[in-house]
Structures are given as structure tokens and as C-alpha cells.
Structure 1
Amino acid sequence: MMENRILGAFYGQALGDAMGMPSELWPRSRVKAHFGWIDRFLPGPAENNAACYFNRAEFTDDTSMALALADAIIEHQGAVNPDTIGRNILRWAEGFDAFNKNVLGPTSKIALNAIKQGTPVSELENNGVTNGAAMRASPLGCLLPTHNLDAFIDEVALASSPTHKSDLAISGAVVIAWAISKAIEGRNWETICDELPSVARHAQEKRVTTFNASLGARIELALNVARTARGTESGMEQVYHLVGTGTSTIESVAAAIAMVELAQTNPNRCAILCANLGGDTDTIGAMATAICGALHGVESIDSKLKRELDDVNQLDFTRYSRLFMGYRQQREPQNERQ
């Protein structure tokens, strides 16, 4: 069952990313005017300078970087090694020609250029607050049990450090990874929501590096917006205008939590709602739908959509779920393993 949830998180990440790709970084009004309503995989439109490089059902840098992180963890047999993570992300970026395309966030681009010049990850400042760490955090949720919050935050911070070291970026990555990990452990969504604001606050205050609004408070606002909305369309409007759907961690991570709630944790519905939201649709979709997939397991992913993802991307996600299940069991406290 746990391995099914891990597999659900990997597929959810790819599903939300690929569904949200065509509309990424467009205002909500333009998404509506151009697409009407997105309810299936579509190619990136030529006029979208972030999505134009991708065909139908292809995922973007969000999932590519998540898999670069996952591959680095596999290379170190379940351990987090920031220099290998940075090297893997750089290898993907160069292979995709990402430096010359509008797909890398500003924080990641600066960090990867420094890594390219041979700077060790430990020497990089990386104090940006964009969502590049949170968007790739789903494998960390699959890897790390939640019995020790401080240890969990430290591992997520280490994995985020090749591109993001700021308090806010780490807090966002912790929130997404924690929600996924709790889901994999079998907790229900309501229980997870109750914990997330305090988890976010603890992570953000552990080593303060920026002046920023509280992610914990923004998550509380986001959940309140989703729960009091008069219908889905009104809820999406409120998330867009009040919570925000931009590329900053403070907006996109809180928006992702709101979208899980609005979709009532259904991964297929979540991917579709995020694609129509406006803003950083692929990233919000990747984070939110990974949580939904972890909550309900891979069987909850629509078989037609799953088949399209498999056919187009030619990836064996079951290899990841099997290996990560083993690494996770090694990290469980002794008494929980028996």
C-alpha cells in the first residue's frame, strides 16, 4: 500500500505538471480566452514562450528536476548529496538547452551557472524565494519519514541547497514533502492540513535569511479561501486573487494546498483545476497533484491519462517507487519497522 502511494506521488507530479504546462505563466483571463477549459493533455501553444517547447502530455522542468533529484538519491543509495543533485540538475538543463529557453527560474539559473563554473554547493548563497525547491520536493516526501521534524527539515534544506537556501524556499519544499510523506504514511488530508501551518512556521523560522510574510499564515488563508468558497469557479478566482499563483514560494505553495482542498483530494480533478487556474499552473499542478496521488495511490490516477504519460515520456516510475520504498524503510525508526 505504501509503495502504491509513493508511485501515486510520482505519477501525480507528472500529471499535474503536464496538464498545467500549456497555460503556464499566463494570466487567468488569457487562459480562459485561449483555452476555454483545459480538461485533457494539450501541446504548449506557440505563443506561450514558456510552454512552446513541449508537446502533449510532456512534463516540464518541474518533474525533470524532481527526477534529477530522485536519480541523485538513487546514486547515493538513499542519501541526500547536494553536489550530485546540483550536477544532475545541471546535466538536465544543458541537455534540454534550458539556459537558452524560458524554462529556468531566475534563482535556479544563477545557481546552475555557478555550479557550471565549478563552485561547490556549500559555497553558494542561493537566497532566492522562488519555488524551484518546492516544485521538485515530491521525491523527498517519498524518501523521508516524518517521525523527526527537525531532521526532516535539515534533509530537505540539504536537497534544496543546490539552487535554494532561503528560509522561505526551504519552508515551501518542507510543506510539500511533509504533506506527501504524511499521505504515504496513511494520514488523511484533514489531519495533514491541521499540521501544515505549524510545520511551515517551524521550517521558516529555523534559520531566518529573508524578510518575508509567513508561509504558515498564507497556508491558513489558502485553506480558508478553499473551504468557504461558493463553488469551484469562485474558489479558483479567490485563490488567484487573494492567495496568489505566481512563481514565488509564498504564493504557489499555499495555492497548491488550496487546490488539493478545492479538488477534494482527487488527483485527476486537481490537475485539471490547476491547469485552468492561471499563473504558475504547471508548478502548482505538480505540487498539488503529487499530494493527491500520495493520498490515494496510483490506482486513483485516471488510467487513460496514466497511459498517455507512459507512452509520451517513456519512463518507468515503478523503478522509483520500488527503490524509494526500500530507502524509506531503512530510515524508519526501529520499532516501526517490525
Structure 2
Amino acid sequence: MTQLSPESRMLGALYGQMLGDALGMPSELWPRERVKKHFGWIDRFMDGPAENNAACYFKAAQFTDDTSMALALADALLEADGKVVPELIARNVIRWVDSFDAFNKNILGPSSKVALAEQKKGVAISELENNGVTNGAAMRVSPLGCVLPSAPLENFCEQVWLASSPTHKSDIAVAGAVVIAWAVSRAIEGASWQEIKLALPDVAKYAQTRKSTTFSASLGARIELAFATVAKSQGTEQASEAVYQLVGAGVSTIESVPAALAMVELAGTCPNQCAVLCANLGGDTDTIGAMATAICGALNGIEVFKKEWLDELKRVNPQDMTRYSDAFRRFRQQAQEAE
């Protein structure tokens, strides 16, 4: 087996985020039955349907707010030489929000909308409560997983909390972001999915119990349920249905992060298969797709992506992703040397 380079894994994570987001965009926030009835089966890029008031603004292969905010975080990391500066992240996110007129469209999650509106009024991030439980921190965190070494876990959690703080400070929202970022980070370090999977419930528990701010259910327990649900199902259709019904596929962190991990498992870590399964899941398809396919991309590298999908993503979203992967490799090395 060829040893994958960190750059290949980082590009896999970044394009995985983009692929899962763009393929899952047309069906986002629709119930599973409606997705089946309207699309049959999503296995290619499609325009957002006019009747989907979250997806109607986007064309085929275009990424949504998930990846726009991930790139806002990535740009803030570039500007600060790999350091997490919440104010830079917030500034970049607000720039995107304003350019897309996202406050007046059904794009922003409720927690992000409130927090960003307060910051636009001049309220400092440190003064915001930001105790929302939605998945806005987890959906954008994959670039930070590229930069941060997975250990020590305490420092990892603190950095993810800082990166989340412009929109989310709750124990569950930050724990969800830690789980996604840590899975990406371990994959970049060359860990197998089996190793990562076994560790995730404990990582979630540690992250969630560091600073208790909500009465949320246990993320670690829900992750275990997600993996068990996939394990006892027969085939992808039955497993997807069970994940949707038992684990949940909504915008809350406690549903969408475990659902994303279930999809990584169900797809056998293949980013192409994962993006398709997430797009057809129902619920918060683009966000679950972005998180899950970023992990799959980091595990398998950019080389395994379908060439026609990658070409289409690059054509529709002309971003030079190598400028991120080059810088992130350097930042990661510096962080490892500083330990």
C-alpha cells in the first residue's frame, strides 16, 4: 500500500468537505421520504430545487455555507500563521454572510445568526453567550483538523473551542467540533478508521465534560449508538433508514455529528460513496455530508476521488486548495516541533 502524503490527506479533507456539501445541497433540510420522492436517488451534482428554500440559491456542484465558513476559518489560519484567532474567523465569516446576503436567506443556522448579528453591532466575542447546540462549529472545523496535531487532547479541545467561539461555545457544539476535527487530524497522522472509531466516544466524552453549559445527552453515547445501528443493519438502505430514525439527521450537534460518523462507517470510508449516502439520508444532508466526507477524504487521500466530480467541483468553485494544504503542512510541523 502506498504511503499517503499529508498533503494528499489534507486535500482529501478539504475537497471531501466540498464534495459532501455540494452533493448534499439539493436535498438539505428535507425529510427522507420527500428526498426519495423528489429525487429518487442522488448520485450526481444537481441544482438546488426552487421549492427547497435552503438550497434554491445554489447551482449544481456549488458548495454552501458549510464550506464557505470552513474556508473563512482556513483563511483566518493562513493569515495568523496557523494560530486560532477568533476575531479573524468571525470577520471572514461576516464578510461571506454580507456578500451572500445570508441574513435575509434561509442559510444561516439559528445560533450563528444570533451570534453574528451581535458581533455586527460591535459586541465582543468574549461577551457573547453563544450557548446554541446546533452544528455550525462542527460543519466548518475540518481545516483546523488539518493543522492541529491530535495530542495533547486538552490543547486540541481548547483550540477547537476558540475556533468555535465566534458562533458556538456550548459544551455539546464544541464537543461535536472536537470529534470531527480530531477524526480528521488522526487520519492525517495515518491512523486507521478502526483506531479512530474506537477512540471517538471517549474523545467526545472528554470534550463535552470539560465545561458543562447545557443539559445535552451524551455525545459519546450517541456515537456508540450510531456505530451499533450501522453494525446491526443489513445493507445501506436499512442502515441509512435506521440512522435517520434512531440517531437523527437534524441540525443539532447531538444528531448530525453521530450521523456523519455512521455514514463514514457505512461507506467503508470511501469519500465518493459517503457523499452519495449522505445526500440521500434526509435531514441536514449537506452538513452531514461535509463532515463525513471530509473524514473519508483525510483517510484515503485526494487520489481516490472520482475525477469527473473533482473536475466539476474545481470548475464551479475555482479555489486553489493547494495553498491551504501547503501552508497547513507547515503549520502542523511547527506545532509538532513546539511540543
- TM bin, normalised by shorter chain, reads over 0.9
The match for 2:69 is: 65
The match for 2:42 is: 38
Q: Distance in 2 between matches of 1:183 and 1:229?
A: 26
Matched AA of 2:146: C
Q: Distance in 1 between matches of 2:89 and 2:119?
A: 11
Q: 1:273-308: per-residue Cα shift (whole Å, max 9, x none)?
A: 000000000000000000000000000111110000
Q: Distance in 1 between matches of 2:323 and 2:16?
A: 16
Q: 1:137-192: per-residue Cα shift (whole Å, max 9, x none)?
A: 10110010012000000000000000000000000000000000000000000000
The match for 1:17 is: 21
Q: 1:38-78: per-residue Cα shift (whole Å, max 9, x none)?
A: 00000000000000000000000000000000101111111
Q: Which runs of 5+ in 1 are unaligned?
A: none
CA positional deviation for 1:227 = 1.5
Tell me which of 201, 222, 229 is aligned to 1:225: 229
Assess if the C-alpha contact under 8 Å between 1:169 and 1:249 holds in 2: yes
The match for 2:277 is: 273
1:182 paired with 2:186, answer yes
Matched AA of 2:194: E
The match for 2:88 is: 84
The match for 1:243 is: 247
Q: Distance in 2 between matches of 1:303 and 1:329?
A: 30
Q: 1:200-248: per-residue Cα shift (whole Å, max 9, x none)?
A: 0000000000001000000000011112210100000000000000000
Matched AA of 1:90: I
The match for 2:301 is: 297
Matched AA of 2:151: H
Matched AA of 1:197: P
Assess if the C-alpha contact under 8 Å between 1:143 and 1:327 holds in 2: yes
Tell me which of 285, 290, 300 is aligned to 2:289: 285
Q: Distance in 1 between matches of 2:74 and 2:304?
A: 22
Matched AA of 2:78: I
Q: Distance in 2 between matches of 1:62 and 1:89?
A: 11
1:197 paired with 2:201, answer yes
When the two chains are superposed, the root-mean-square deviation of aligned CA atoms in Å is 0.7
* Pair 334,77 (structure 1): closer, same or farther in 2 beyond 3 Å: closer
Matched AA of 2:142: S
Q: 1:7-65: per-residue Cα shift (whole Å, max 9, x none)?
A: 10000000000000000000000000000000000000000000000000000000000
The match for 1:150 is: 154
Number of residue equivalences: 335
Report % sequence identity.
66
Describe how 1:321-332 pairs up with structure 2 within 5 A: 321-332=325-336
CA positional deviation for 1:333 = 4.0
Assess if the C-alpha contact under 8 Å between 1:87 and 1:115 holds in 2: no
Assess if the C-alpha contact under 8 Å between 1:69 and 1:136 holds in 2: yes
CA positional deviation for 1:3 = 1.1
Q: Distance in 2 between matches of 1:237 and 1:202?
A: 30
CA positional deviation for 1:318 = 0.9
Q: Distance in 2 between matches of 1:159 and 1:42?
A: 32
